[in-house]
Structure formats: C-alpha cells, structure tokens
Amino acid sequence: MSAICYGLIHYLDKAQTKIRPEPIVAMGTNTQCTTVDYGAMSEALAAQAQKASDIPTDIFYNTQVIDIFEKEDKTFEIHCKDSSIYTANFVVVNAGAHSLFLAHRMGYGKHMGCLPMAGSFYMTNKHFLNGKVYMVQNNKLPFAALHGDPDILAKGKTRFGPTALMLPKLERFKPGTYWDFFKTLNFDFHIVKIFWDLLKDSDIRNYVFKNFLFEVPLINKGLFVQDAKKIVPSLSVDDITYAKGFGGVRPQVLDKEKEKLMLGEASINPGNGIIFNMTPSPGQHHV
C-alpha cells in the first residue's frame, strides 16, 4: 500500500484559469495495473480449472435457465430453455438482474424488488488518460461515480461513464424481459413509498433527471462533457461519441421491509445449498 498516495489537492483548471473551489480526493499507484479484461481472465481461469481437476468440469454456454427446483433429497434440478436438465448439490446464481427473478420463482426474497438501472458510456476519439480516474461517489447513490479510464479493448481510447437510466427490462441489449421486470419489481405500496422517498431528495431527483438527459440525442454530449471536464478539463464535445452497445443493467435492490433502496450488493442465502447474488454493477461489455 506504500505505493498509494492519498490526500486532498486543489486542481488548477487551465481551461478556466482559476482554482476550482472544491477539494479533490486523490488516490493513485504507479506499481499496479488498473484495467483488466475480465472476459479473457475468465476464459483463462476456466481453461486452467479444466486442466487442473481430475473430475470433469463442464461449461455450458448460451444455456438459459428457466427454473430451479429443490428436490426432496436436498439436491437441485436446473431446467433450461433447451429442455436440458441438470442436477446439483450446490447452486450459485450470479445472473445479474435475473438473480432475484429466479429467487422469486423459488419463493425466496419476496421482501425484495429489483430496479434495473442501465449504464451508458462515451468514448473519446483519442487517448486522454493513462489510468483509471474516479470522481468521488455520492453516499446517497448506489451508482458508481463518473470515471474515465483507457479502454484496453478499444486501442487505449478513453471511456467515460457510466450514466444511470432506469429501464423496465432485465437485460439491456436483448429483446423482451419487460414482463420479467414487472414480476421482479414486486410492485406494491412499499415500492411506491421507496420511490416517493427517493424522489423527495433533491440530490437524487436532480441526478435522475440529469442522467435521463444524458441519453437524449442532440443535447446529451454537450451536457455529459460538462461533467467529464471535471476529470479532463480540456475535453470538448468533438472529442467524445456515444459508445453504442457498451454498458449493461445494474440490479438495484429495493428492501420492502425497511422501505429503502439497498446500497451495494445483495445476497439471498436460505442455507439449503443455493445462493442468489445481486451485484450493483454488471461490468462494461460491448455487444
């Protein structure tokens, strides 16, 4: 950790030739990588796991799970869309916004609802940053603060984002899942109360409205670049383009018992050998 420096600094905004009034929290390292291709890493880990184990390790891609049933012998049957059925003694459901959907189908997590938030990104046409730079996150919001980082899959061009837009679907770039959303939202008076409390807060209300405008053509780039300039003051509208196909859906979990939006990740573990994980970020993929 000695390579990490932490402190409060004032940043000289050369574009406006004045000292920015707000303090900036800074943390950096010159001895560690800040960007990882998690897709390539997952493939490598899976390949090594298959080589290292004497027990066959099978991986099935493009196999959509429809239902999971707990049997009397305490094992689980996993039913898939292609009519295949798998059995397991232990199941971990890491299915993004569909984790709670599958939990509800099994009768778990009924005190929770899912609010899918889509994140979009903007890509620069040239290299701007050598490493990842994050703005400070607002503690009221469970969403990642605006950040910029060199995209190792886009020849080092800098990617800025994410934005946050509520979408009534559980998967961003696939048709359907609208009905799945309404089921997983688990709508009732408690959900209305959560929404009302969120929108009463001016910080959250302004954030939601501003991020909606980030998705509106013609005006989105000009508005977005004003925020991104806090990271790169020289950035202009001509430097960025909307990154089509980037981003995903973040399943923000609503706790109906406490009538509040849950911050961070959520997990349902009934203690019988199955776990449902819901993380607040799906990673940034491209389709």
Question: Tens digits of per-residue pLDDT, 22-34?
Answer: 666 666 666 777 6
Residue 69 lies in a domain: no
* Pair 242, 160: CB distance under 8 Å: no
Q: Which amino acid is at 255?
A: D
Nearest to 162 by CA among 222, 120, 117, 204: 120
Which two three-digit tokens encode residue 180?
Answer: 């799945």
Please write the tens of the pLDDT for every residue from 127-177.
998 888 888 888 877 777 889 988 888 887 999 998 988 989 998 888 888
Peptide bond into 233 cis (omega under 30): no
Tell the residue number behind the tokens 């960025």, with chain if given: 240
**What is the domain range of residue 212?**
91-278
30 lies in a domain? no
Which residues lie across from 28 on neighbouring strands?
A: 5
Q: What is the pLDDT of residues 207-225, one digit of tens each?
A: 889 999 988 888 999 999 9
Q: Is residue 230 part of a domain?
A: yes
Dihedral angle sign, alpha carbons of residues 262, 267, 271, 275: positive
pTM exceeding the 0.85 threshold for the entire prediction: no
The count of structural domains within the chain is 1
| Distance from C-alpha of 58 to C-alpha of 93, rounded to nearest angstrom | 17
In a domain, 221, yes or no: yes
